[in-house]
Amino acid sequence: MAFYWGLRKTRRDALPTTTNQKVGSSNLSARTTRNQQLNIPLHREVDRPFSPSAEEPTVRLSVRRLAWMQRIAALAIGFFWISFWIDHNQLPANVVDFEWCFLLPDILWISAAFWVASNWLIARDRRAGIATAVAGGSMVYLGLLDAACNFRHGQYTDSFSRGALNAAVNVACLVFGGGNIWYAMTRSKLE
């Protein structure tokens, strides 16, 4: 640790400074940047203590892969609603009534947010992290709300296949939504 702090001190001392000079004066070196002229450190984390987990994520996920996973999730939500429309007569009336309330939020908010986030991720747009966090948070909320409804209306215990399918969908919503939030948080630390 002493070596690390010594390295940081050396790195900080090695930065060129212009203490007694005015910005824009003629005797400044042509190679100094405006931040160096104003004595602003080049590195954002100069005074932060060393933490390997804060500097590098433990799981590396390519931006392109996450973007395609978001697009697949958006399409899967659309596919769910098409299949629900075709085969909703086997469910209890109170569950069907509850599910219909999610049609517009799922399509207009969650699917759209995943689609926008994926496009911004591929384009390397700075807003991609925010859209990813919004879509991930919406997916976690959906997973928790759906799990509460399924538990309240006995959808996990009605039949094994329906219960397993509902549990898998709820876990997928929670894990994928949480993963998107995690990615958005670590992405902002790395940039």
31: phi then psi, degrees, rounded to nearest 5: -90, -5
Neighbours of 68 (CB within 10 A): 14
Q: What is the pLDDT of residue 4?
A: 43
3-state secondary structure of 154: coil
Parse the chain into domains and list their residue ranges: 2-50, 63-190
Between the two ends of the chain, the Cα-to-Cα distance in Å is 25
Give, in order, the Cα–Cα distances in Å from 142 to each of 41, 46, 121, 153, 166.
43, 40, 23, 16, 13
Are 54 and 189 spatial neighbours (Cβ–Cβ below 8 Å)? yes
DSSP output for 26-68:
TTS-TT--HHHHTT--S-TTTTSPP-HHHHS-SS---HHHHHH
Amino acid at residue number 15:
L
pLDDT reported for residue 159 = 83
Which is nearest to 96 in space by CA: 40, 54, 149? 149
pLDDT tens for residues 125-180?
Answer: 999 999 999 999 999 999 999 999 889 888 888 888 888 988 999 999 999 999 99
Residues of the chain with pLDDT under 50: 1-15, 17-19, 35, 40, 43, 45-47, 50-52, 57
SS3 90: coil
Q: Residue 58 has what pLDDT?
A: 53
What local confidence, expressed as pLDDT, does residue 189 receive? 58
Q: For residue 98, what pLDDT is reported?
A: 84
Predicted local distance difference test score (pLDDT) of residue 131? 95
pLDDT at position 74 is 94
> What confidence score (pLDDT) does residue 191 get?
52
Which of left, alpha, beta for 39 (phi over 0: left; psi -120 to 50: alpha)? Answer: left
